[in-house]
Amino acid sequence: MLLLLLLHLLILPGLTQTAPTPPNVVLIVSDDLRAQVNVADFFANDSGLPRTSNLESLAKSGHSFNHAYANQALCGPSRNSFLSGRRPQRTEAYNFVDSFRDVEGGENWTTLPGLFKRNNYTTVGAGKIFHPGLPPDNDMPYSWDDRMSDGTWESWMYPTEDACPLKTSWCGTDNETDLEDFKTTQQAIKLLDNITSTEKNSPFFLAVGYRKPHLQWRVPNRILENVPLESVSSPASPDFPPSTPPLAYHMPVDDFLLKFSDVEQCGSANLTDPATAWFSESCSRLWRRGYYSAVEYMDEQVGIILNELKERKLEDNTIVIFFGDHGWHLGEFGMFEKFSNFEVALRTPMFIRAPSLVTPGGLTTAPVELVDVYRTVADLANLQIPANESSSIDGESLLPLMQGMKDDEVRMAFSQFPRCLDGKNYADLPLSSDDRNVWNVYNDGDKPSRRHEITNLPEWKLSNCNEITVEGMDWMGLSVRTQDWRYTVWHQFGSEGINWEAAIGGEELYSYYPGDVDIFRSPNNFENVAGDPVNADVVNELRGYIEIQWNK
């Protein structure tokens, strides 16, 4: 009798337990977004910053990370890293030549969207998530729903747009439907329509990749008109610090220098020496205005996606993650673009909203890394990382920080960037048309002269490795960011990896006051103090952290 009573109680409707509904996930990635957004705990008191009301709303309803860092300041390597959950030293993808699928064992790795796919999520996306071609075909079919490649749904769309008139770097337009980020948003909405109409009981993973504020800065006229030039400040430190090793400098030869008529008119051909590499204040402010306008437009598109979730009554069960793939120089140190280990190139805003899991309005000021995103999102969705991959996936889950753990523990962010300087290596390797054009314009033809006692070339010329295989790389800058310092050391590098025994190409150490988030205005952030004897212990300690990290 007692047994029957117990059985009766167990099947009472009020006592039955149902499995929790798996959360949806929306991942939004912005291209070239530096950590200069008008959001509290970033730079909310600077009236000259781009208006980013939708990111501010996301921050208030979620958790902010105002010291988030890319593991390499270049689109392809950064995206290969955070989408695979592996650092560049493990993916061996340092430029636009290789992807993580090319490294030994990489063909079997599970990506972040792939993790959700194997857990019965509908995984879809639009825009720039993986860098085009890295890996091939946006990693179909491993990462995404088969219906995106078999014709059932819209295929992956990486949109394009018309160039600015006169081939300038920035312009306004009234043809908003031609803008690539507008097209990405509309594609994402179509995918939501597909999911909600056919997969009512299936959770989804939606990735949305915005190109802005990547060049070109073509934006609606209505936005450009609301960013008055007089409100835009000049770079705080337009000169390359004389105490910083020239290896750290990158002449903006790729997206910026060769392609745009206004950049040429502003004197791009004079950028041959980091000691004198700077544009006029009037030119720099125009470009900064273009960049800020592009940030505002991207923020507007983010708001449309967030509103779609609200209108469809999905926001209470949808995790939203937003960040940039890395930062961007806007004239600091005489540099534009990314391609460096400097703070402005590596740091990007990051916000995570996870209803019922994370208290809204939280803030983490400790350094975190984009490679942490993989384990964090898996944790938030309560997904298990495949046992055979757990040891190879880098980073740490940020969920404990988001749920109240003090962020004053010793946390560090590691980044790296290669330099290709040796003329003999370049001469023996196939060059892309852009690379060959650069050699012809700025050097002595296809086989440039060898000048520097170590590198045989001026360090500030042609230092990118965009289309060069590992065999042609000469140096690797290894960088670590703590709460108070950024330390970078330049080691000789090649197909055998880092040469720890050879002479280094230079060291950098930059000081950051606790709580100082305005990296774009504080003078102390622009002086290399690695050579000051008073900092010898700091240099030795941080160098030790780097040696441990890259010898794992």
CATH at 163? 3.40.720.10
Burial letters for 81-103: b for 16+ Cβ neighbours within 10 Å, e otherwise?
A: bbbbbbbbbbbbbbbbbbbbbeb
SS (H, E, C) 485-525: EEEEEEEEEECCEEECCCCCCEEEEEECCCCCCCCCCCHHH
Please report, in tens digits, the pLDDT of each residue of the chain (552 residues total). 455 444 444 444 444 455 678 999 999 999 999 998 888 777 544 556 788 999 999 999 999 999 999 999 999 999 999 999 999 999 999 999 899 999 999 999 999 999 999 999 999 999 999 999 999 999 999 999 999 888 888 777 788 999 999 999 999 999 999 999 999 999 999 999 999 888 777 899 999 999 999 999 999 999 999 999 998 988 888 888 878 888 898 875 554 556 788 988 887 766 656 666 678 889 999 999 999 999 999 999 999 999 999 999 999 999 999 999 999 999 888 888 899 999 999 999 999 999 999 999 999 989 999 999 999 999 999 999 999 999 999 999 999 999 987 665 679 999 999 988 654 344 444 445 445 444 444 444 444 443 434 334 444 455 678 877 888 788 999 999 999 999 999 999 988 999 999 999 999 999 987 655 566 666 557 789 999 999 999 999 999 999 999 996
Domain shared by 232 and 372, yes or no: yes
Backbone dihedral region for residue 221 (phi beyond 0: left; psi -120 to 50: alpha; all else: beta)? alpha
Domain shared by 28 and 89, yes or no: yes
Q: Which of 244, 275, 251 is nearest to 488 (CA)?
A: 244
**Residue 19 maps to a domain:** no
Domain shared by 350 and 439, yes or no: no
Q: How many Å from the N-terminal Cα to the C-terminal Cα in the chain?
A: 63
Domain shared by 370 and 450, yes or no: no
Domain shared by 327 and 418, yes or no: no
Amino acid at 545: Y
> CB atoms < 10 A from the CB of 73, how many?
30
Amino acid 333: pLDDT? 86
Domain shared by 123 and 215, yes or no: yes
Amino acid 335: pLDDT? 86
Beta strands in 222-324 (DSSP E): 318-324
Q: Domain boundary at 402, 423, 441, which?
A: 402
| Long-range contacts (CB closer than 8 Å, 24 or more residues apart) made by 36-41 | 36/520, 37/295, 37/299, 37/349, 39/64, 39/349, 40/64, 41/66, 41/363, 41/365, 41/517
Amino acid at 246: P
Domain shared by 387 and 420, yes or no: no
Amino acid 187: pLDDT? 95
Amino acid 288: pLDDT? 94
Q: Where are the alpha helices (DSSP H) in 179-280?
A: 180-198, 221-224, 261-265
Kindly report whether the global pTM for this prediction surpasses the value 0.85.
yes
Separation between Cα atoms, residue 446 and residue 371, nearest integer Å: 38
Fill in the DSSP letter of residue 168: -
Amino acid 49: pLDDT? 78
In angstroms, what CA-CA distances link 496 with 414, 470, 493, 507? Answer: 21, 9, 7, 22
**Residue 207 maps to a domain:** yes
Separation between Cα atoms, residue 91 and residue 80, nearest integer Å: 7
Q: Domain boundary at 378, 402, 426, which?
A: 402
**Residue 7 maps to a domain:** no
Domain shared by 372 and 503, yes or no: no
Write phi, then psi, for 351 (nearest 5 degrees): -135, 140
Domain shared by 297 and 419, yes or no: no
| Long-range contacts (CB closer than 8 Å, 24 or more residues apart) made by 97-100 | 97/467, 97/468, 97/469, 98/134, 98/469, 98/470, 99/130, 99/133, 99/134, 99/135, 99/136, 100/135
Amino acid 1: pLDDT? 46
- H or E segment to which residue 369 belongs: strand 368-369
Amino acid 488: pLDDT? 98
Domain shared by 175 and 255, yes or no: yes
Amino acid 457: pLDDT? 42
Burial class (CB in 10 A: 0-12, 13-18, 19+), 33: buried
Amino acid 237: pLDDT? 82
Q: Domain boundary at 402, 426, 446, which?
A: 402
Amino acid at 42: F
**Residue 11 maps to a domain:** no
Domain shared by 452 and 368, yes or no: no
Q: How many domains does the chain have?
A: 2
Partners of 477 in the beta sheet? Answer: 417, 490
Q: Which of 380, 362, 370 is nearest to 320 (CA)?
A: 380
User: Rounded to an integer, what is the distance from CA 442 to the centroid of its chain?
Assistant: 29
Q: Which of 131, 115, 134 is nearest to 123 (CA)?
A: 115
**Residue 2 maps to a domain:** no
Q: Which of 450, 478, 474, 475 is nearest to 543 (CA)?
A: 478
Structural domain containing residue 420: 413-549
Separation between Cα atoms, residue 109 and residue 439, nearest integer Å: 38
**Residue 300 maps to a domain:** yes
Angle between helices 75-84 and 373-380 (to 10 degrees): 40
**Residue 114 maps to a domain:** yes
**Residue 255 maps to a domain:** yes
The helix/strand/coil state of 362 is strand
In angstroms, what CA-CA distances link 233 with 42, 43, 46, 276, 524? Answer: 17, 14, 10, 21, 19
The helix/strand/coil state of 184 is helix
Q: Cβ neighbours of residue 335 under 8 Å, at least 6 residues apart?
A: 240, 249, 250, 252, 277, 329, 342
Domain shared by 275 and 346, yes or no: yes
The helix/strand/coil state of 454 is coil
Amino acid at 309: L
Beta strands in 381-454 (DSSP E): 413-419
Amino acid 425: pLDDT? 45
